[in-house]
Amino acid sequence: MEKEVVFAVNYALNKGFQIHPDALKILEQVDIKELEHVIKQIVREKSKQKLFLINQNDLEVFFGLKDDEVLENEYRVLSDPTPKITSAEGIDGYNSLFTSRFSKLKKIISNRPEAKMLKSISSAVSTKSNDDMYVCGLLSERSVERNITKLTIDDQTGSIETIVFDKDLQKIAASLLTDQFVMEKISFGKKGGFIVKDIIIPDISEHIPNRSKTETYAVFLSDLHIGSMYFMEKELNDFISWLSSPDPIARKIRFVLICGDVVDGVGIYPNQDKELDLVDIHEQLEKTKVLLCKIPEHIKVIITPGNHDPGRRALPQPAIPEIYNPALWNQKNISLLGNPAIVSLNGVKVLMFHGQSIDDIVRTTPGLSYDKPARAMRHLLQARHLSPIYGSQTPLAPETDDMMVIDEVPDIFHAGHVHVVDLDLYRGVLILNSGAWQHQTPFQAGVGMIPTPGLAVIVNLKTFKVYTKDFTTRD
């Protein structure tokens, strides 16, 4: 026996494993260079399963000698803002953006029984009825004074100030996002003023997700920040090499989704150049191309932009323009889409949104924090809008169609931006934030943000079981 084979056998025996005689025969035929690595992988995986016999099948799977069952890998783009982006300008543009937001969300809420009783704001204001009335609009103002909350909502006919006395309703009122769509049950009070009896938000109903027929896996990544001094090149490279390894999960991966901040960009924040390894955007994208082109061709790679990527800053963002790297665009297994985008992976609908608005939401909503971004994402699903707040940090473009409305309920809602891996399941929708491949930056250290970088989030599209694989530790 060759010394590598002896090593492998002894390694397994010392860990309490038995080796089937048929497996021994295979060990003598396999690639010696791979042997140590593979035997350690098998021992680790089977220890987890508490199965202490190594058989022929294990070796065939881990060495990639056995063909996988045919895995479905059907990819479709369901929504991409790139070709739809216009250049509506000024106040008119914002008026039409908000008109579009209002009418799309009113349509979404129209399946609620109460929606049949909706009155326009101008007619509610003039009626001043003591009976219950329903109105809906975008929340333009909220104020809290002496144990009461005042909410002002607007529709195209006018504006109404409403008063919330009830404690529980005040809690709901506090969680509303500025410019979000709401429906209210109100009546005109004896002492004057419109009293809020109920607050209804569009939300989603219990959702039965679409599933892949085969055990195909997708990997969810974001915030690579290629070009930054803090970019974790080694870890990302290890991840990319792992995709071509005989690991049984790696062999079933057919999709890699990258949800923005692919590069660190140039001039994104003051003095950024002092924190860049590559100070030219073309160099950053060239490096991106070199790294991502190492992903095997049977895996489809989908890239959407974030606030660090070139294109435009305001939402919705077009795909990273082809001129920055035609080779990346023309790579057969790579697709560049805008932000937000919806793709179908074997029928599973994935909404990809970089997550810029999470910053605004965390800052303005009681109970939310940066270490639990999936909670903030849940708020967005409930508001049925990816970036409601206008005029805060997240820039919105004055499009005539509000493409940030969540029209269709996705099966998976994928975002990044805050550099923290977090998961949630809300009414059947898998919410996931995919972390980052950048070490903590001095800015983040200064504000106490603790990222969880170097983790790949992997989802079995048939069972929706989620795995995270840590590339910061060597095995």
What strands, in cross-sheet order, belong to the sheet with 217-221?
Answer: 334-336, 300-304, 253-259, 217-221, 455-460, 466-470
Q: With respect to ligand D5M, which residue has the nearer C-beta, 38 or 418?
A: 418
Of 128, 109, 126, the C-alpha closest to 117 is 109
SS3 341: strand
Q: Where are the alpha helices (DSSP H) in 15-55?
A: 21-27, 32-49
C-alpha to C-alpha distances, 72 to 41, 167, 187, 342, nearest whole angstrom = 26, 51, 55, 19
Q: With respect to ligand D5M, which residue has the nearer C-beta, 261 or 286?
A: 261
List 58, 155, 179, 223, residue binding ligand D5M (CB under 6 A): 223
Of 266, 290, 262, the C-alpha closest to 277 is 266
- Find tokens 């704001």 and name the residue: 121
**Binding to ligand D5M, residues 367-386 (CB under 6 A):** none
In the complex, least distance from residue 362 CB atom to Zn ion, rounded to whole angstroms: 13
Segment near ligand D5M (CB under 6 A); pick from 79-87, 111-119, 404-412, 414-422:
414-422
419 binds Zn ion (CB under 5 A): no
306 binds Zn ion (CB under 5 A): yes
Give Dmax (Cα) for the chain. 95
Segment near ligand D5M (CB under 6 A); pick from 72-80, 134-142, 233-241, 413-421:
413-421
264 binds Fe ion (CB under 5 A): no
Q: With respect to ligand D5M, which residue has the nearer C-beta, 38 or 263?
A: 263
List 155, 179, 247, 359, residue binding ligand D5M (CB under 6 A): 359
Question: Beta 341-345 vs 75-79: how paired, if at all?
Answer: antiparallel
Segment near Fe ion (CB under 5 A); pick from 19-27, 58-66, 209-217, 258-266:
258-266
In the complex, least distance from residue 338 CB atom to Zn ion, rounded to whole angstroms: 15
419 binds ligand D5M (CB under 6 A): yes
Segment near Fe ion (CB under 5 A); pick from 254-262, 269-277, 339-347, 442-450:
254-262
223 binds Fe ion (CB under 5 A): yes
Question: Beta 412-415 vs 429-434: how paired, if at all?
Answer: parallel
In the complex, least distance from residue 438 CB atom to ligand D5M, rounded to whole angstroms: 7
- Percent helix, percent strand, percent coil in the chain, to nearest 5: 30, 25, 45
Segment near Zn ion (CB under 5 A); pick from 203-211, 341-349, 412-420, 442-450:
412-420
- By a kind-dependent CB cut-off of 5 to 8 A, residue 165 interacts, out of Zn ion, Fe ion, ligand D5M, none, with none
417 binds Zn ion (CB under 5 A): yes
Residue 217's contacts (CB-CB under 8 Å, 6 or more residues apart) are: 249, 252, 253, 254, 255, 458, 459, 460, 461
Measure the CA–CA gap between 121 and 136, rounded to whole angstroms. 8
Of 215, 221, 176, the C-alpha closest to 199 is 176
In the complex, least distance from residue 355 CB atom to ligand D5M, rounded to whole angstroms: 8
In the complex, least distance from residue 1 CB atom to ligand D5M, rounded to whole angstroms: 52
Segment near ligand D5M (CB under 6 A); pick from 106-114, 179-187, 293-301, 415-423:
415-423
Nearest-10 crossing angle of helices 233-243, 281-292: 30
Dihedral sign for Cα atoms in the order 412, 373, 420, 306: positive
Q: Cβ distance 454 to 235 under 8 Å?
A: yes
Q: Which parts of this chain interact with Fe ion (CB under 5 A)?
A: 223, 261
Q: Which parts of this chain interact with Zn ion (CB under 5 A)?
A: 261, 306-307, 417
Q: Which parts of this chain interact with ligand D5M (CB under 6 A)?
A: 223, 261, 269, 307-308, 359, 417-419, 443-444, 449
